[in-house]
Structure 1
Amino acid sequence: MIGNRVCWSRAAVDFATQVDVGGLEVDDPRADAVFDAIHQKLPVFREQGGRFTEESEDEVFRAFTRPITSNEPLLLFIKGEKGTGKSHLVRWLKTRLGARPAWHVVYIEKRNTSLRRVTEKILAGIDTPKARQLREELARASSEIASAEEAVSALLARLDHLVTFDPATEIRGLSGVSPAELADLRRKTHRLLGDYTFRKVLGRSDGPVHRIVRLARGGAEPSEDVDETDLHLTEADLQVDPAVFDDLGPELQTLVGSLVSNRYLRTDIAALCDWYLPRAKAEVFMGQGTDLLSVFEDVREEIAARNQELCLLIEDLVLLHGIDKQLAQALTIPASSRLCKLRAAIAVTSGYLNSLDTFTDRGVQFTLNINLKAIGQTSLRDFVGRYLNAGRLPNTPPIAPAPHSRIPDTPNACLSCPDRPRCHATFGTSTNGYGLYPFNGTAIDRLVELASPGDFQPREILREVIRGPLETAEDELPSGGIFPSGQFAKPLDDVRQAIPPGMRAAIRRTNHATPDTEMSLRAFYAQSPPNADPELEAIAAYFGSQLSHGIADDQNDLEDRDETPRKSQRPPTSEIDQWANGVGLLSSGTASRVRRWICDAVIGQLQNGPYGVVISRTKGSRPAWLIGSHPLRLSDVQIERAQGGGAIESQFPFRIDATDDNAVLIQGILAAIDGSSLDSVDQARWFFYLQTRISAYASKLAHLASVEAVALPSAVQALEVMRNAATDPGQTVATALPAMLMPLSPPGQHPAIEKFLKEVRSVREEALVTVRAHATAAKGAGKPSLFDVGPLLQQIQTNLKARSVQTETAAEDRGSQLLRQLQTQQSRAAKQAWNDVARGIQDVGRFLDPTEDLSATLRVVDRLVKECHARGRLPRADSKEQYETLRNRVGAEAMESYRRLSRKVASDVGPGDLWDILNDPMPQLTALGRFAQVTNELLSNLEQSLTATQISGAVDTDALIRELRDLATLLDKASQEVQ
């Protein structure tokens, strides 16, 4: 066979595997036929008195259809978490009911559900005055709201009205709030909801009210899981941005500030709003004229007059939020001679049911929170087999109904297939006789386990076990020999974790044509992955694929296995396997052993090879070596996703990526360290591969050592430039050398310089290593010492006056790279630091000229402040104290720094000028600027207070003249004292 058959229709698969039963329209012949084809009976648990008893779907059906012998409504709740199949079971009940003339059946589906549509379905076929009135209200409410934005506005307005004017004194969630506190809370909530800006924030398109409106108007998709919290306002929804309200009044700003900062206030306001939210929704979207409870009684009266029972089936109670409490109350009213008997099956999440007190203890509760073990392997295979068969059926539904049922029998699409005998023999069938092709039972087990671990999650199985793999199969099967490729079930297992990395590497080495296909076959289709078995070999032959020989796991001899198929029992995954699979880190202990072994091997290669480099061991707690002037550290062996690598980024690393081949390499290294022979892992292939890499890396290090020997002038220049960070950088070789080795910075260092020195720390360390290595090599590889500077004197003497990098070179040697890195970092730091200084000078310059005689000015102002304070002329009682506090923070030193920096800013500032602000001048400039500003404000206030004249009534001209003369006298005295 050149290719393989694709025996399903993509359209049929997509239609059958809709992730929610709400996508299959009720009472549509094709949808009903597909539903019957895909339905798989699963266990359910009946909850009673806190105990759970396993029962079947048939028992659920019997519990729902049993005769009602009392007046109490028969309520049946299908509980479960999201995606567990609650709606599916309600739909199955509807399908099983068939024609029941004695029942008036109302089915409320998730599809296109809205509050209005739900109510209209309840009213279907009912023609009473109250029903007609409610229909008119629904039509009017619907016509009044034309868009989501209008609905949001109407809902907020109605909510505001109810919060403000409802007289209720008890609110759920606010039980500890006193009447006075509740009234205050209503006032605050009204102030917020009544504000246009706050409404706009709550009503944004991605906000909470838009979400609530969309669901109330029927915007939920059939496959959408509506979370209960999506129907409520929470305190998180009220966490707004205070900046939005900056241009509004102080009252609202204060309230918004309290709302943002006080979680308890947000919680209380959210609880108050949420209490009225269902009522507001009902009144906005259904009108305010009719009580649904009384209408529901009308409905039951009409059905009773027809001598029928009311049967209500609800796919998801959450979507009825807004009328759920009224509906719950209506469903608990007993039957009578006037009201018909009632039964209801309702799908609801476990938590949501608890919020409806009226419902909690009044019905039979079944739960669908089932784990895979409870369902069993056979049922899970049948579940997938039914969907596979549905995807093979034609689009038109079968027409021959089964006996005593309106639902047609589901045919087996395989019966007409010419490949059926060989296909079924190779891939197997479900208990219904549906072929499992292109899977086998083991593949289904493996995929289901990965897609839905633990609990039964049918939606995940539909997405990841059926739809995704079948799309891959549809593309690959016609070519033959390709399926299942690496794309098969990639979201579930992209590395095929069931196969050890060593075997994956061996498969790639031996199967050059389709290694990914072989790994997928072994990982998913083998009974005991990754070992080949007769069933797997038959499947590979069917697909036209090949399996490598001689690579089976030595620990699992397939020839000794009994003939009874058993579920794969994979051995525990090792640390190295998890690392290669991308699901775990390599521990620091393991990684450290590997790094040390490789470094020792590199050093051994350098010592025994024709490289002619000086190698020395450095001191320290972590092993490190010097190859000439180039350091080799354990951290230079960079292992992907390994712990303990250190924070220093190596410029010339020996990389070990997380691959299958490198997993084998690590296993080989660890085995060698533990004393095993080199061929104990992968027949020593790992060793020869690694030796090639080590030889190349050793050659690279030797080349770097020889190249870096010429980097000495650059290293010396870099150290001399950076010594300017010291308080005393020195001007001779003798005084400069200590600063080069260990610069002691002043305590008030500029932050930009401090940051710069941290950024170039690696440059300094590399320069020091280069200088030390040169000195050590010059004296015959003796004990290294930084004070062996004899050969370096000339280099140091050359650049004593250097404040920044002096050379411009395009060379690519390490020394040039070192200087360019230093130059770039210093230029950036100088620009940032001097920009800050320039802004500080500009701030001071608004009030104080650099050429001003600050001492003379201070004497004049001091005298003026003193005299005005004594005469009570200062603007405030603490003006003199404030002035003197700032006055004591400035002096001649601050003014001189201001002058010097002003001249510097006026000229061109370069990288070398960074050292002119080694002592951070910003505190002095800030103090000087603040003093100048306050003094200017003080003098301005004095001038205004002494010269301003308020014309209101008669003016005491004599008093005004006396004040002006007093001011003139004060100024004269101050000027004479200065002179």
Structure 2
Amino acid sequence: MSDQTGFICWTKKNVLQTIATEAPNPSDSVFVATHAPLDIRRIGAAGREARGEQLVTESELMTDFLERPTNNGVLVVPVLGASGAGKSHLVRWVRANAPKKPGRRIIYLPKGSTSLAGVVEKLLMGLEGAPFDDIRRDVSRLGRDITQESLERRLLDELAESLRTAAWATAQERALVGEQGLYLLLHDPFFRAQLLRDESLIRRRAAHAISGRGNDESDVPLQFTSDDLPSDVLDIGQAAVASQRLFRNIVANDALKLAAIGLLNRHLDVAVMQAANLGVGRLHKAFIAIRQALASEGEEIVLLVEDFALVQGIQRDLLDAVLETSVREGRTVLAPIRTLLAVTTGYYGSLVDTVRTRIESSTPFRYELRVTLGRGAQQSPETEQRVVDFVGRYLNAARVGQTKLDELRATDSRAVANACEGCPVREPCHAGFGTTATGHGLYPYNRPAVLRAVRASALSEEPDAFNPRAVLARVVRHVLTEYADDIAHREFPNERFAEDFPPRRDERVLSPRVSEQATSASEGQRRRVLLEFWGGAPEEFGNIAPEIHTAFGIPAVSGAETVRTTPSRPRSSEGPAEREDTAPADGLKESDRKRLAAIAEWNGRNAVLPADVAREIRRTVRAAVLSRLSWTDPATRPAPSAVIERAWPLNAQTVSIEGAQEAIARSVTPAIRFARTPTNARFFEDLVKMQAGIEEGTLEARLRLDELAERYAPVAQEAALESAHRTDGLLVEALRVSIVGAAARGLVVLSDKPAMLLSASLWNGGDERGDSAIRSPLWVRTEERHTEARRNLIAEIRNALGASQGNGEVQTIDGVRALSLINIAADSWDIDPARPRPGWAGPAAASLSSLAAAVAEQVELLTNLAAEIRLRLPRGTGFAETAKAVQQAIEAGEHHGYVRHDDIPTLKQRNAAATAQAGSRELEVLENDLASLDEDASFERRLAVAARDRGPGIGLMRSFLIENEKWLDAGLNRVESRDADDVGELVSRLAAVTKRWREAATWDGS
């Protein structure tokens, strides 16, 4: 027994030559080698007695078609089915197997000859002379004298002309025919350019007429759809005004749009015939002439049309010719004609009622190709076997190759050689991967893998139908060519293969538990795909056939059981598949079961995780993280719940789950991301069980949840601090505002130590200034605004730097952290509005916006104040001495009436207060401070001078000097007007004080 590891028993060349997705492509030998019986359903034609559906063989269909009496010389048998269902294959089989019979003339229109010239040539059967030669000559000009570009323009012109004279049947059509209808748009240069865009219908239709249908082109006829109307144009203003108006009406009115599409399609064939120089009716007359000639020879025509789409442009003439009865007045004047017509179901239903009625009047049956894979109990093991045999037959052809098949000249698939005969690895290969009913090896598939891949290849519009073309293209040709190197290098099966064949909604998938176990073993991702496809998605983890493990280079897991590899049959009911491992344990509600099933769908089928399930997962993970928030490192008061909600919201911005419906801005990076993996699916399942109160079997999930909380709690806390504007960078700016506010109150200066600055930054205001009487108006307003805003500022700073105790209020401050931030904040006292700062510090910062102006105004006021005082108190004269002299003067002059004042007791009281609280020292300090402010003085220095609380003394001194100056001047005047005998000692005293102040008024500072 040889080693099958990385074994390749086909070549890419053989695959491409033998695995054709179109019936005319393979050679006859390949066609015979790969032909498989089709599911053909015979259905009573419309209008006839219902007989139900009956499964028939190809031979029964052929016999019915060739032997059934015609209806007055006409028999049209439609073969219906979806694109790729095998209609063309069936027509070719009939052509290959139709018994040779004298008097039977077969006309075969394969898909390979789909140009207009090719179709016409086959229909004319080589007949010569007029009118046949004339038609050949005219149609041969396509591509030679008539280029594709010119044919495109002629198509538009002919279509416009046909619509200009078209009859209308509805109100909508009436607005679209004539010279002011679609004719207008088709001649408008702007809209013509739009209709001739790349991949437009007119371009594709012209290319089809000249070169024929492409290999990858759908067999649905090229017709206008709503997508072909240029409804997305932006520069419509370039079109004529009338064209713009019509176009807007069509785009805005769905009924009018449908009417436009219907009219364009009804007149398209006429436009093609006219543009191709065939003219309407010429081909019909030529074919009728053929039928007349053959009638005289007693022959009948068998017309085999592999694809009705290929006769676009001549469909009307051809249908008219094949539906025209042979018998007239009891005589056969036209050769009978039997037409086997392959046509897609949808297009057949869209034929004009009169055409369809004429077709169905010629035969009691129509045939449909439809293999239903079924679901659940409806899925037939016999159908499964036929599907497996179908794939196996093509796998064998790919191994044998076209060259050898052509040499065999086999006329029956049973006579085709089995490539597995004589293969060195046949024994282990067939033992592990299995065979078809006729002994063809299924490698690199096995039965479960084949059926799963086939179901994944079903067309979305017919999810239960077996589509041979799709299966050949994807399941056979694609895999054998694209994955051969992966197989040879032990890299198959892999995730790419699984992505190529995603499970259907009703397909069984690996449970998260089994999927996680597979992923955790060696070759994890490949093992997971192996179990899903080749293992039939087993309920339990284990090994499959050892030969398969060897061939793919995926070692069996030691000690694991061998699981039963049976094909997973889709369920017949809707909704997620239930499995044993997602079935609820005791205590789980129905809602919990649905969550578990949805998680399994998310993991195994790449389904979208329902929003409610994703939200519960996020809620659980988020709650675990938030429970670990620590407000002691750094010390800070716990952030309010509203702040946490904003910083760490319950949505995908915080916890993102791949495959859930999420709307995340590109600029947002979720903190926690869960990829679509088996491990995460298992974790989610356990979270659901934990929420339901089930702890058994969830220890691993609880440990992981704990680890997530530990890892992401610092991230959540940082986000909360940032949302609360408590990060270090923002706190520095808040502290700077607080320090400057305290400095404006005169509590600190720049040179103070950090401890002093910290104490000042936490000052909450409340006490009154001693020098409020000498504050400028702007200074007072600035200080009042700041004091009001400062209360919240200090509260937030304390919240950011303090620890909550007792009733939750901040009782202590983290001094180490605070001092480190103070050192940074004290570098500059400039409150720059461009720098980011906490939102809660904004009002306090704004209140200081006028501080610079207030400083300038206050310095000017102090300068003027000092000057006023020096006018009355020259340097070298002490204030106490002056106050004493004034007091003696009052006492001496009060008795004689020389001291006149409204309230002498109050004057004495105020003078006594000034004497007690004011002194020359305060004035000297003020003058020294002002002298230090040169032009280069910093803002901090100017702020210190302006903000310094100078107490009440300076203000009282000024008031004392000015008020007493007034009564002294008045008293002196009165004394000087009296006789010298009355003056005495009082005159000397008053004169001395007054003289001193007058001299001070002219003092020059020297």
Q: CA–CA distance in 1 between the matches of 2:628 and 2:220? A: 64
Q: Match for 2:355: what amino acid?
A: T
Residue 380 of structure 1: aligned partner: 387
C-alpha spacing 1:527/1:632, structure 2 compared with 1 (3 Å): closer
2:487 to 477, 480, 493: 477
2:808 to 772, 782, 795: 782
Q: Match for 2:730: what amino acid?
A: A
Residue 428 of structure 1: aligned partner: 434
Shift of 1:638: 0.5
Residue 201 of structure 2 corresponds to residue 208 of structure 1: yes
Residue 23 of structure 2: aligned partner: 21
Shift of 1:802: 6.2
Residue 640 of structure 2 corresponds to residue 640 of structure 1: no
2:683 to 665, 675, 691: 665
Residue 75 of structure 1: aligned partner: 76
Q: Match for 1:160: what amino acid?
A: A
C-alpha spacing 1:777/1:212, structure 2 compared with 1 (3 Å): same
1:804 to 825, 833, 844: 833
C-alpha spacing 1:714/1:457, structure 2 compared with 1 (3 Å): farther
2:451–2:567 Cα contact (<8 Å) kept:
no
| More divergent stretch after superposition (4-13 vs 257-266) | 257-266
Shift of 1:99: 4.0
| More divergent stretch after superposition (186-195 vs 113-122) | 186-195
2:189 to 196, 201, 210: 196
- Which residues of 2 match residues 818-967 of structure 1 at below 5 A? none
C-alpha spacing 1:417/1:615, structure 2 compared with 1 (3 Å): farther
Residue 1004 of structure 2: aligned partner: none
Q: CA–CA distance in 2 between the matches of 1:175 and 1:701? A: 67
2:77–2:341 Cα contact (<8 Å) kept:
yes
Q: Match for 2:423: what amino acid?
A: C
Q: CA–CA distance in 2 between the matches of 1:231 and 1:93? A: 29
Residue 136 of structure 2 corresponds to residue 135 of structure 1: yes
Q: Match for 2:18: what amino acid?
A: A
Q: CA–CA distance in 2 between the matches of 1:46 and 1:772? A: 88
Residue 283 of structure 1: aligned partner: 274
Residue 509 of structure 1: aligned partner: 520
Q: CA–CA distance in 2 between the matches of 1:498 and 1:564? A: 13
C-alpha spacing 1:42/1:718, structure 2 compared with 1 (3 Å): farther
Residue 509 of structure 2: aligned partner: 498
2:41–2:368 Cα contact (<8 Å) kept:
yes
Residue 528 of structure 2: aligned partner: 519
1:208–1:237 Cα contact (<8 Å) kept:
no
Aligned pair count reads: 737
Residue 769 of structure 2: aligned partner: none
Residue 587 of structure 2 corresponds to residue 580 of structure 1: no
The CA deviation string for residues 316-344 of structure 1, in whole angstroms up to 9 with x for no partner, is 11232221122111111223433222111
C-alpha spacing 1:646/1:370, structure 2 compared with 1 (3 Å): closer
Residue 447 of structure 2 corresponds to residue 446 of structure 1: no
Q: CA–CA distance in 1 between the matches of 2:198 and 2:406? A: 46
C-alpha spacing 1:286/1:545, structure 2 compared with 1 (3 Å): same
Q: CA–CA distance in 1 between the matches of 2:520 and 2:120? A: 67
The CA deviation string for residues 217-254 of structure 1, in whole angstroms up to 9 with x for no partner, is 344213321434x32375951537373443x6655555
2:518–2:541 Cα contact (<8 Å) kept:
no
Residue 403 of structure 2 corresponds to residue 390 of structure 1: no
Q: CA–CA distance in 2 between the matches of 1:330 and 1:685? A: 77
The CA deviation string for residues 161-195 of structure 1, in whole angstroms up to 9 with x for no partner, is 3334x4x6x34xx34479xx579744444433333
- Which residues of 2 match residues 74-153 of structure 1 at below 5 A? 74-97=75-98, 99-140=100-141, 143-145=144-146, 147-153=147-153
Secondary structure of 1:418's partner?
coil
Secondary structure of 1:82's partner?
coil
2:733–2:825 Cα contact (<8 Å) kept:
no
Q: Match for 1:278: what amino acid?
A: D
Q: CA–CA distance in 2 between the matches of 1:344 and 1:718? A: 95
Residue 616 of structure 1: aligned partner: 638
Residue 539 of structure 1: aligned partner: 548
1:613–1:702 Cα contact (<8 Å) kept:
no
Q: Match for 1:498: what amino acid?
A: V
Q: Match for 1:415: what amino acid?
A: E
C-alpha spacing 1:412/1:208, structure 2 compared with 1 (3 Å): same
Residue 425 of structure 2 corresponds to residue 419 of structure 1: yes
1:64–1:76 Cα contact (<8 Å) kept:
yes
2:322 to 319, 331, 335: 331
Shift of 1:131: 1.7
The CA deviation string for residues 522-557 of structure 1, in whole angstroms up to 9 with x for no partner, is 1111255254678533422444421335677xxxx9
1:216–1:319 Cα contact (<8 Å) kept:
no
Residue 41 of structure 2: aligned partner: 45
- Which residues of 2 match residues 245-260 of structure 1 at below 5 A? 245-246=237-238, 250-256=241-247, 258=249
Secondary structure of 1:74's partner?
strand
Residue 160 of structure 2 corresponds to residue 160 of structure 1: yes
Shift of 1:467: 2.4
Shift of 1:281: 0.8
1:521–1:536 Cα contact (<8 Å) kept:
no
Shift of 1:437: 1.3
1:459 to 453, 463, 469: 469
2:158–2:271 Cα contact (<8 Å) kept:
yes
Shift of 1:502: 2.8
Q: Match for 1:298: what amino acid?
A: A
Q: Match for 1:469: what amino acid?
A: V
Q: Match for 1:8: what amino acid?
A: W
C-alpha spacing 1:604/1:52, structure 2 compared with 1 (3 Å): same
Structure 2-normalised TM-score? 0.64
Q: CA–CA distance in 1 between the matches of 2:689 and 2:300? A: 77
The CA deviation string for residues 383-428 of structure 1, in whole angstroms up to 9 with x for no partner, is 10011011011332344556xx599932212123232233222222
Residue 343 of structure 1: aligned partner: 338
Q: CA–CA distance in 1 between the matches of 2:674 and 2:623? A: 16
Shift of 1:717: 8.7
The CA deviation string for residues 882-907 of structure 1, in whole angstroms up to 9 with x for no partner, is xxxxxxxxxxxxxxxxxxxxxxxxxx
Q: CA–CA distance in 1 between the matches of 2:244 and 2:398? A: 61
1:508–1:515 Cα contact (<8 Å) kept:
yes
Q: CA–CA distance in 1 between the matches of 2:738 and 2:91? A: 80
RMSD, aligned CA = 4.6
Q: Match for 1:576: what amino acid?
A: I
Residue 415 of structure 2 corresponds to residue 409 of structure 1: yes
Q: CA–CA distance in 1 between the matches of 2:231 and 2:716? A: 58
Residue 11 of structure 1: aligned partner: 13
Larger Rg: 2
Give aligned-pair identity as a percent: 24
Q: CA–CA distance in 1 between the matches of 2:494 and 2:788? A: 66
Q: CA–CA distance in 2 between the matches of 1:184 and 1:488? A: 53
2:18–2:401 Cα contact (<8 Å) kept:
no
Q: CA–CA distance in 2 between the matches of 1:328 and 1:737? A: 97
Q: CA–CA distance in 2 between the matches of 1:662 and 1:406? A: 54
C-alpha spacing 1:406/1:85, structure 2 compared with 1 (3 Å): closer
C-alpha spacing 1:665/1:255, structure 2 compared with 1 (3 Å): closer
The CA deviation string for residues 613-648 of structure 1, in whole angstroms up to 9 with x for no partner, is 45637346xxx759xxx9555457403148798989
Please, which runs of 5 or more residues in structure 2 have no aligned partner? 375-379, 572-576, 583-596, 740-779, 812-817, 846-1006
Residue 222 of structure 1: aligned partner: 215
- Which residues of 2 match residues 676-715 of structure 1 at below 5 A? 676-677=694-695, 680-681=697-698, 684-700=699-715, 708-709=727-728, 711-714=730-733
